[in-house]
Chains A and B, each alone.
Chain A
Amino acid sequence: MIERIVFYSLSAVTLLAALGVVTLRNTVHSSLLLGLSLAGAAGLFASLGADFLFAAQIMVYVSGIAVLIMFSVMLLGRASDLHLRQVNEQWMAALLICAVSSAGLLKIARAYSETLPAAAAAPQTRTLGLLFMGDWLLAFELVSLVLTAALLGAVFFSRSEASR
């Protein structure tokens, strides 16, 4: 019973906040709701027993990416944006695309309607660490290379033209 309440409330928070992200006119509001939606997704990770991922989601997404997006919203915005339409004229076609693909996705989801969890959730941090330092070492190092490249790229692109 309590599992059900947790799941439905977390999904409602995630999906309603996501709807707000894509429909609200004020970009500051939608960036705040993005943080809420990502926190709801973190709660869903916790309800799935992925403890390390829950912590990583809170640290990377909610307190990293959402805050970064909020900063750039405040740097880029103008007061006149609040009176402008934020949705282009193709929204009907986009809705149609979403409806068509939802049919396929829900059909796939229905195939697993009998699947229950096989075992109780166990702490994951140790197995994840062993995986990263063992079988997936190359991928782990490549990701750190990607992060370094992103850091350098961000510094390069955000310099002004004159100092280049």
Chain B
Amino acid sequence: MTLSHYLIVAALLFLIGVFGALTRRNIIGILMSIELMFNAANINLVAFERFLHPAGSAGSALALFIMTVAAAEVVVGLALLMAIYRNTDTAYVEHFNLLKG
């Protein structure tokens, strides 16, 4: 298994995530697609560490930071989502026009 195998898998996962974030109508679907993109970035970091810099473990440490920030993002995002849902009574992003005035 060469590095390019892992890079290709991560690239495909990232592109699936981009596609989902651009096309899903449901806000939870968009959040899930963002999680997929985070994971693609993590796979890339760990693969580069394993293949190019096996001495240190900075890639894994960065991936752990990404994981923590992603957890924080999801927690705040879902709490905001519940607040918006209470106001607008919908989960579809095209109806989120509370700031339109």
Contact = CB atoms under 8 A, between A and B. Distances in A.
Interface string A128-142: 100110001001000
Chain B contact residues: over half helix, strand or loop, or mixed?
Answer: helix
A50 B46 contact: yes
15 contacts: A3-B1, A22-B29, A27-B29, A41-B42, A50-B50, A53-B42, A60-B71, A65-B70, A68-B75, A114-B2, A124-B60, A131-B61, A136-B61, A143-B69, A147-B71
Interface string A41-56: 1001101111011001
Interface of A: 3-4, 7, 11, 14-15, 18-19, 21-22, 27, 30-31, 34, 37-38, 41, 44-45, 47-50, 52-53, 56-57, 60-61, 64-65, 68-69, 72-73, 75-77, 81, 84-88, 90-91, 93-95, 97-98, 101-102, 105-106, 108-119, 121, 124, 127-128, 131-132, 136, 139, 143, 146-147, 149-151, 153-158, 160-161
Contacts of A61: 35, 39, 67, 70
B4 A113 contact: yes
B55 to A, nearest CB: 8
A132 B63 CA distance: 13
A37 B63 contact: no
B2 A154 contact: no
B11 A154 contact: no
